[in-house]
Structure formats: structure tokens, C-alpha cells
Amino acid sequence: MMEPPIITKPNILLIIADDMGLDATPGYGIGPVQPSMPNLQNMMDNGIRFNNFWSNPVCSPTRATILTGKYGIRNGVVQVGDELPTSETSLQKYLDTNAPAYQSAVIGKWHLSTDVNHPTNLGINYFAGLMNGGVQDYNSWNFTQSGITTTSTAYITTQFTDLAIDWVSEQTEPWFLWLAYNAPHTPFHLPPTDLHSQGNLPTDQASIDANPLPYYMAMIESLDTEMGRLINSMSAEERANTIIIFIGDNGTPNQVAQIYNSTRAKGTVFKGGINVPMVIAGKGVDRTNETEDALINASDLFATIAAIAGVNILEINDSKSFINLLTDASAESREYIYAEVGKDTGGSDYTIRNATHKYISRDNGSEFLFDLEANEFENPNLLNANQLPLTAANEAIRDELLLKLEEIRQ
């Protein structure tokens, strides 16, 4: 009599790059200057590159959205500095309840509160990393672990990787690791030489300020090198049983944005601020070297990661699982995606799109409607006086998007 097959629960590795838009990502064909990212390229060759993944325009709201499966208007984090209420159910806490076999950790940038106990209070079993949104120096920064903060003089991208390697090596059960690098977030600088291929650039501040792009590229390359070191630290068996999800948390900063107008980069709800890379490869991903145009929100990672962990879930809060897209290119997907960013005035900029059109409402009263089939880079604004009146078809689509927005924001 044959033994039943052993079904192994996949390990789940979520890697977040900080401030990395499509223009700075190989494979998307947007920026003329591209970093060398052999490890991410390997994921693309063996997995799926997603073209229409939306984050929020800045880091805290994107992280909170993934962590809770809720839009910012529902979890209270709509801009940098907002604190995520500990009454929210984190993805890690949800897995503890619904997929208790999984061990979970968050390593790297938190940026959802400055309270060193905040990750623990949200059900994070192990946290080690950076509480704040950034560091002043990648070689001298405030390292928090077990609720205690000390000054680390290790290169931060390397230290996060070391922590990840150590934690993974200790696991005897299936695991979910949220690894949030703060690279390539400012300050732009030259990482250690062995981590990048940009060469021997001058390191004085004036040179960096005059031409920050190669330094930004070097920081991205260092992230890729370290990501590869983590992946290669696993045994072949463990690697084969791990699914890796790589994302950017928001678009490229305006100083180093390519193709996008600098006023339409990080911090804005235009394409350059919220349309970010997502690449998924590994265990359970049957589609290889494919691109996927399905509309996906950052919030959808909550339900999807839970589903990968074996929870019988299709949808929760503002999160819809896209697990079926990992095996089936024709799987059903969202009709709309949504993003927002709070403003200091108390208002917000927000946006919604369907397969063909995108609508933006800004806190200053301006509105935009773009036909993305005509121009993915969001020109012209069909609501400009010189474009009006709208065609009947465009008017119908605008009304449809406004109706959906009302539903989301009620």
C-alpha cells in the first residue's frame, strides 16, 4: 500500500524594498538606468512579475495595509507618523489563530509606531530592526530587539540579512518572515564595495547630491546581493519549500525618479508613487517567466499570505486573495484597485482605477481622469478644460469609478 504524499506547508518570505518604484526595477522597461539585480531577475525567470500592483504613496500606510488587510481609512494609518492601533488584528496574529503551525517574525523597518513594544502588542512573536522611518547613517542607527534599543554600527542592509539568516536557521516549523529592508531609502550613499557593481564612486556629499542616481542604484544592488545571501543560506530542500514575495512599498523618490515627472513620484497617487514592483516565485508558483496584468492592492497580501499558509480564505476586510493567479493565468481578479495618502490639512488625495481608466481626487480640489490604454503614464487629464467635454463612454467610466469610491470611502 502506497504511503500518502507528505504535504509540506511552504515557508513564506516577504521582502520589502523601501522607496523602489518600477523605474528602478529591472524587467519593467521604464527607467533607462537599471540596477543589476541577478537574484530578483532569477525570481522573474522562475516566477511571475506583476505589472499592476498598487501600494500607497508612502511607507507607513503601505505597511499598515499589508499588516491589517485594510485600507488606511479603516486602520487609521494614512500618512507617515500615524500609529497603527494595537486593537487591529495583524497578519501574524491572524496566522497564530488560523495557521498555528507557522512561526512568524518581522525583521527590519517597522515605522508604525516609535513604541518599542508596539510590534509585540500587535502579536509579532519576534521583532528585530528599526522602529523609525529611516536612519541618518546606514552604519550607525538605532537597533531595537526584544524591546531594547541600542546603537548598531553594522551596515544596516547586512545586519537585517544576518538577523534573517539566523532566525530562519533556527526554525523547525513552517515559517513566515516579513523582511523589510530600509534600502534604498535616503540618505543616498555608497554601500560596501562587495555589495554592488556601480564602481568606485566619490563619497563626498557634494558629489552624491550632484548625481544621486548611481548611489541609489548601488543601494538597490546591495539589497539584491543580501537578499541572495539569505536565499543561498537555506538548504536546497528548504529553498524548494519557500515562496518568496518581493515588493516595493512606494514609488521612487523624486530626486532619482526616471521617466516620471518628479512631482508625480513618491508621495503622490500618480503611477510613479503607487505602481510598484511585485515579483513572486518559489513553492506553489506554477507560472514561470510570466507577466501578470491583474489589478492587485497591497491589502491583498493579507488574504493571499493566509491562503498560502493553508487558511481557507478568499476575502477579509479590504483584502482579496490572489493565490489562484500563482497557478492559473485566467483566475478571477479585482475590477478596481484603490490608494490614498493623508495630507497635513487633514484631507487626503485618493485614487481608483479599473482595467482601462484611473480617477484621482486631490485634497486641493483638483481631479484627474486618465485613459490608461491610451497612455499608461497618465496624460492627458481628460478633465482638463481643453479636453472637455468627456465622451459618453469616458463619462460613464468616471461615474462608475466615483460610485465605487463612494462605496470604499463611506
Q: Which residue has the higher pLDDT, 93 or 8?
A: 93
Tell me the pLDDT tens digit for each residue of 335-358: 999 999 999 988 999 999 999 999
pLDDT at 67 over 50: yes
- State whether residue 108 is helix, strand or coil: strand
Burial 299-328 (b: 16+ CB within 10 A, else e): bbbbbbbbbbbbbebeebbbbbbbbebbee
pLDDT at 99 over 90: yes
Query: Is residue 410 very low, low, confident or very high in pLDDT (cuts 50, 70, 90)?
Result: confident
Average pLDDT over residues 81-103: 97
Give the CATH number of domain 11-339. Answer: 3.40.720.10
The Cα 244–Cα 176 span in angstroms is: 10
Q: Report whether pLDDT(8) > 70.
A: no
User: For the whole model, what pTM was predicted?
Assistant: 0.97
- Delimit the domains of the chain by residue range: 11-339, 354-409
Q: Provide the mean pLDDT of the chain.
A: 96
15 pLDDT more than 80: yes
Under the banding of pLDDT at 50, 70 and 90, the label for residue 5 is: very low
Cell of 355: 482595467
Tell me the C-alpha distance between 410 and 145, whole Å: 39
Report the pLDDT averaged over residues 218-225: 98
Name the band, by pLDDT with cuts 50, 70 and 90, for residue 173.
Answer: very high
Q: Which residues contact 146 (CB under 8 A, 6 or more apart)?
A: 128
Res 157: pLDDT: 98
- Per-residue pLDDT of 271-291, as tens digits, reads 999 999 999 999 999 999 999
Distance CA 45, CA 41 (A): 6
Please report which residue ranges of 31-84 form alpha helices under DSSP H: 38-45, 59-68, 72-75
CA distance 200 to 210: 16
